[in-house]
Structure 1
Amino acid sequence: MGRLTRDPAFKETTFVVIDFETTTPRGYPAQPIEVAALALRHDGNAWVSVGTYSSLIRPPAFAPVTPADTAQTGLTADEVGQAPSPAEALGGLDRQLADGCRYLLVAQHAATEANIIYNQREHCPTLSRTDLLDTIPLAKDVVPGLPNYKLDTLLSHFAIQQPADRHRAYADVDVTAQVFMRLVAEADRRDACDDLAALAKTAGRTAKCNLPVQSELFEV
């Protein structure tokens, strides 16, 4: 292993790979209808899974599941109509994050997850203050020259099998986790990132709740 996975801060961090499926009503931000997460730790020699979570989420009335949503995810309006509320589903995930532990969220195109979490922050205060790593800039840094950095392209590059239920949250979390582990291994091999701070500089995204609040341009 290289310097990154020997870094004490890296080994002390739990990396929570997260994915949402959503419905996007006109005039409103995307509303989650499913969430999944897979928590990983690196012990200096290998990755260890330390927890999983998944739940359907009942969307608000203004954001019904459409036929297009069903075609992409396989989820139906009836299924999500019986699902836990956002407060129940996201609150359940939030309670999995233990006080005093170091966490980073990991996502493919993390801006999407960051926005969803921020908009649901009242239900998941700990999650909403957890910074993120984005697999896309990390992949651009350690495997340059790919035609694009979509998840399917990265799966093909690393010869990771497409899941049968692609576009369901846990299936996407599972393959994103595999991509992330391959990217870390490649960063280690190339000494592209010396430590967690360098990894965060390359691929980090600050949680919106951790950004400074900009004061009004003109005070009244």
Structure 2
Amino acid sequence: MLATMTTDFQASLFTSAAVEVPSLQGLVRRVTLSDGAWVDVARGWVRGADQVFPRLVHDIPWHAERREMYDRVVDVPRLLHQYGIGDELPHAALTAARNELNRHYAAELGEEFVTAGCCYYRDGRDSVAWHGDRIGRSRTEDTMVAIVSFGAPRQLSLRPNGGQVHSSHPLGHGDLIVMGGSCQRTWEHAILKTAKAVGPRISVQFRPFNVF
């Protein structure tokens, strides 16, 4: 099933290039939000991402999940996989990305990104609802969550807790967004469903220890 979703995707949308994960110095643009929250954005950070995408599709052991929501159990509208502390990542570009994130944010974060959660959005019907990563230390402490995107662009929407949509960031092929400061506690983010014809997207979320 996964192969049929990506057979023509790369050839029709992206050109080949050598895979490179350059230094973030000078590439990052910071957007200040409210209540001590901020996001950093680096467009096209992973270069040659067209070579990475099909490897992630086929090499990550994707699985579907069902979760209880209100009074019923529903399908999670995306495929998932989690790489824990010490797990080998499925592509050298992800290892290089994590290494550069740890180097660039070492002083500000004060610890390393150690886990990698992966989501496969197969089309516009796949989504993630409004939420903050508030399990673990992120409930009470400032932290960072770094997201690298591969594949078709999707909008990452942001809003203050319970408020209206404040900003929307189109995350494209090889783009990076880092949510920092109080963002997980005081803001929410989502990938909303869309009726537009969109191709598949993979997001890789790098997190510090005990942040979910």
TM over 0.5: no
More strand by share: 2
Q: Greater Rg, structure 1 or structure 2? A: 1
Q: Normalising by structure 1, what TM-score? A: 0.22
